[in-house]
Structure 1
């Protein structure tokens, strides 16, 4: 009956609904930018390769208008600005890492000197401690000997209080010497504890600097990964127009072939209808099948153009 039928996602639709759907996907049905009229060929041939200003139209702007890639200008510019911003942030992070490394290297020499000094002081304290321990041991031994001598004198010469008093005085002097040695040892121990606290502070500063460097390197790796993801997304967006254009060309070629085949089949049908009316039913079904294939192919072409 020469009527046209349209379907959207398998459902029957009107031409107006199909047009609204195509317009919603950026296909210009009013100006027919996907068609080139005969009078426009010379005008297109005279176009400049690229417009000099934003409002000037050249061959590049004309092709972008046809394939619809002009809608990608703003996302591409946004991604370009984002990449530039990430590069600036990366540069700042690298400068901070270098600064922290420089500060850490500057402190490394002082730390090594402090460690060397503390090791030397520790060796000195160890030797002094051994010497004082020897003195204490010797004094204790001397005290024991004197105690034994005192006891022997008390046992043997109880009648000699003067000797006993003298020995007691010597014992008192020895005890006083022992107290003096113990006092010096306590002072040395306090000094050792003070130096240990200083060393602990230096060690904590070194750990803090290393953590800052580690944190800066981790942030730098995260920014590198994010930059790589953005670049991949940009490449994917750039490849969409080319893939869609190839699909449109292939679908259009298939449509033209089926239309030619349909014309041939219609001619055959007319000839057979004149001679063999009994075979009309089979050819009619074949015609309807070809028409359905043509409609489905037209639908595929329109959907492909709407995705471009």
Structure 2
């Protein structure tokens, strides 16, 4: 995240993660140079992003299952995930009975709804703990996404793009420094102490809270992401720079990947296991009679 009038810095060169399914910034930059990526192209691409709406493909569950298996290969608890993914694969035979997308469960933010439900909260925390490799970070982002009414999948996508879920990450700019989970800029948040900046809960609170402000100001996620990255003043006066368009595209891609994984590993599994338990309970009741 940059100061209000500052330029954007590229993402840190950190290890690959299951959420990475698009080309790196450096490769994108070479490609745009070769193809003559002009300001006209940037404007057209930006307008396309403004009209972005989440995909609802009928085969979303199947794709999510494949994504879930790829994700499991990179998680720190292979034995647990092997059991989980075996259960998910078993559900594929009943794919017609499962939700096609996260939206079919209803509500503005299904992840938040599952997190606030005591019956499914642990599954949500476990899922995001596996994603971020830290329960502290998972809970910090979930709590503040719910508090500030920002879609949880988007909040996690921003944190991944900004710091790769590293609460100690630093990025030096010409006149300032971005720090912590949501890369809070020292010029935009001058009153925060170093201990506060590197505290996941405080950093998430400030970062997600700030995103909520620019979201209310801009009226849509794409413009809010542009302001979060390049600064409100610059975007309002001159529009988003080309480098920010790549930033927006990556985050929207991560958001979709998180949604697919969550659908496969939490929603589908919870839905089917609930039906299985109900069936067993009914059979037990009939046997007693």
- TM (norm. structure 2) is 0.25
Between Structure 1 and Structure 2, the one with more helix by share is 1
- TM (norm. structure 1) is 0.24
